[in-house]
Amino acid sequence: AQSVTQLGSHVSVSEGALVLLRCNYSSSVPPYLFWYVQYPNQGLQLLLKYTSAATLVKGINGFEAEFKKSETSFHLTKPSAHMSDAAEYFCAVSGAGGTSYGKLTFGQGTILTVHP
Amino acid sequence: NAGVMQNPRHLVRRRGQEARLRCSPMKGHSHVYWYRQLPEEGLKFMVYLQKENIIDESGMPKERFSAEFPKEGPSILRIQQVVRGDSAAYFCASSPGTGPNQPQHFGDGTRLSIL
């Protein structure tokens, strides 16, 4: 069984400040991990993915995430927030075999607000 | 290259009616996934299909819900005898195959409202 916990349903930062969105996972098999962003009334856009090739993953729009097996974490960061980063962010996990490939399990989401 | 297309974007139904949600995957993608996003909740997996086959329907409610992905045409999520609790955003995603190097691409969703 797999699960994802996103700590903090709302995060608020000032423009130019560090963005840190937390994600912890639980998986009985080696996980594949993803971060998606959702803008209002739109679908989800893939920011980045962890596939075991490298623990520090760089994604689009200046975001990156680090996989820490010992902490079962995959936190998303960005050094300097922009107003355009305001959106809802979802962490997701999928399994590494069988039909679990196709099944993404999402966290509850974190709404990021950026203040001028 | 068009993305995942879902229609309609908004659908209003009265209790007891049927709702049909359509999803055309990206060109070259033969794997389709449906997710539901209820208010104040995250996205929940419903069903995973390949052409003409249901691979995993572990997230589908046992009654009133069905999904198909025919050889020709879009994938259809069908909800019979809708109830207020079916009001949600339904998202379709597609991928060319399975595995992390073929991640899922999402459509903009269908927002279903039940009167």
A→B contacts (Cβ < 8 Å), by residue, are: 32, 34, 36, 41-46, 49-51, 90, 94, 99, 101-109
**pLDDT value at A45 more than 80:** yes
Sheet architecture: strand order including A56-58 = A2-7, A19-27, A73-78, A64-68, A56-58
The residue-averaged pLDDT of A25-48 equals 88
**pLDDT value at A28 more than 80:** no
Q: Note the pLDDT of residue A100.
A: 55
Terminal-to-terminal C-alpha distance of chain B: 36
For strand B65-68 and strand B53-56, is the pairing parallel, antiparallel, or unpaired? Answer: unpaired
Residue A6: which residues within 8 A CB-CB, separation 6 or more?
Answer: A21, A22, A23, A89, A90, A91, A107, A108, A109, A110
Backbone angles phi, psi at B106, to 5 degrees: -100, 145
Please say whether the beta carbons of A31 and A94 come within 8 A.
Answer: yes
Q: Do A104 and B91 touch (CB under 8 A)?
A: no
| Whole-number Cα distances in Å, B8 to A20, A90, B19, B113 | 36, 24, 10, 12
Please say whether the beta carbons of A109 and A11 come within 8 A.
Answer: no
Backbone angles phi, psi at A113, to 5 degrees: -110, 135
Weakest mean pLDDT among A14-23, A59-68, A87-96, B3-12: A87-96
What average pLDDT does chain A have? 90
Q: Do A103 and B58 touch (CB under 8 A)?
A: yes
Question: In this structure, what token pair is assigned to residue B97?
Answer: 């195959």
Scanning every residue of chain A, which has its alpha carbon at the shortest distance from the alpha carbon of B92?
A43
Q: Note the pLDDT of residue A91.
A: 95
Q: Note the pLDDT of residue A10.
A: 96
Instruction: Average pLDDT across each block of 10 residues of chain B; the chain has 115 residues. List them in order.
Output: 89 98 94 91 90 91 95 96 96 85 88 96
**pLDDT value at A1 more than 80:** no
Of A32, A90, A103, the CB nearest to B45: A103
Please say whether the beta carbons of B13 and B3 come within 8 A.
Answer: no
Residue B45 contacts A, CB cutoff 8 Å = yes
Q: Note the pLDDT of residue A109.
A: 94
Query: What confidence tier does A98 reach under pLDDT thresholds 50, 70, 90?
Result: low
**pLDDT value at A97 more than 60:** no
Please say whether the beta carbons of A19 and A85 come within 8 A.
Answer: yes
The residue-averaged pLDDT of A59-76 equals 94
Question: Burial level of B45, CB count in 10 A (0-12/13-18/19+)?
Answer: buried
The residue-averaged pLDDT of A71-86 equals 96
To the nearest whole Å, the CA of A16 is away from the closest chain B CA by 28
Q: Do A102 and B56 touch (CB under 8 A)?
A: yes
| Contact list, A108 vs chain B (CB under 8 Å) | 41-42
Question: What does the alpha-carbon distance between residue A61 and residue A53 come to, in Å, rounded to a whole number?
Answer: 21
Q: Note the pLDDT of residue A62.
A: 96
**pLDDT value at A4 more than 60:** yes
What average pLDDT does chain B have? 92
Of B59, B91, B99, the CB nearest to A101: B99
Question: What does the alpha-carbon distance between residue B111 and residue B9 come to, in Å, rounded to a whole number?
Answer: 6
Q: Note the pLDDT of residue A108.
A: 93
| Contact list, A44 vs chain B (CB under 8 Å) | 43, 91, 93, 106
Question: What does the alpha-carbon distance between residue B51 and residue B17 come to, in Å, rounded to a whole number?
Answer: 27
Q: Note the pLDDT of residue A103.
A: 82
Tokens 């349903």 correspond to what residue? A9
| Contact list, B55 vs chain A (CB under 8 Å) | 99, 102
Q: Note the pLDDT of residue B100.
A: 66
